[in-house]
Amino acid sequence: MDSNKLIFEQVAEMVENQILDGLLLAGDQSPSTTEFANVYSINPATARKGLNILVDEGILYKKRGMGMFVTDKAIDIIKEKRRQEYLDNILPDLIKNIKLLGISKDDLINEIEDIYRKEDIND
């Protein structure tokens, strides 16, 4: 667990990561609040709060008496949410630091293109 984030946020992020990594597929049951509580020694209510966030966002859905399951749109929802968080929160700070270091826009674009080419070769 990461002490910089609230525990329920970490629970939600763990499930999102399992979905993005292909460990949880559409229709699969997510880990239960009891599983989170036992594995991470956290309060089940805290785990439930994290999972309920994902239900509210449309990433998981509840089956009464059976648990929570991954929706068909989960990957798209997670990617869009993280994309927006990146554009709103991370990219502006990154650009600010790049400018402080004197890296030109053209140099940055060239570096990005090189990285993309290397990633394409490795894929």
6-60 pLDDT, tens digit per residue, is 999 999 999 999 999 999 999 999 999 999 999 999 999 999 999 999 999 999 9
116 and 67 within one domain: no
pLDDT of residue 4: 82
Q: Which of 70, 54, 57, 58 is nearest to 11 (CA)?
A: 54
Q: Is 1 inside any structural domain?
A: no
CA distances for 71 relative to 75, 76, 122, angstroms:
9, 10, 31
The number of distinct structural domains making up the chain is: 2
Mean pLDDT of 105-120: 89
Q: What percent of the chain has pLDDT over 70?
A: 97
Q: Letter for the amino acid at 102?
A: G
80 and 66 within one domain: no
Q: Which of 28, 27, 33, 29 is nearest to 11 (CA)?
A: 33
**What is the extent of the structural domain holding 37?**
7-74
Mean pLDDT of 74-79: 98
More confident residue, 96 or 2: 96
The whole-angstrom separation of Cα 17 and Cα 34 is 19
The whole-angstrom separation of Cα 2 and Cα 41 is 14
Contacts of 58 (CB under 8 A, 6+ apart): 71, 73, 74, 77
67 and 16 within one domain: yes
pLDDT of residue 1: 66
Quote the pTM value. Answer: 0.81
Structure tokens at 79: 């990617």
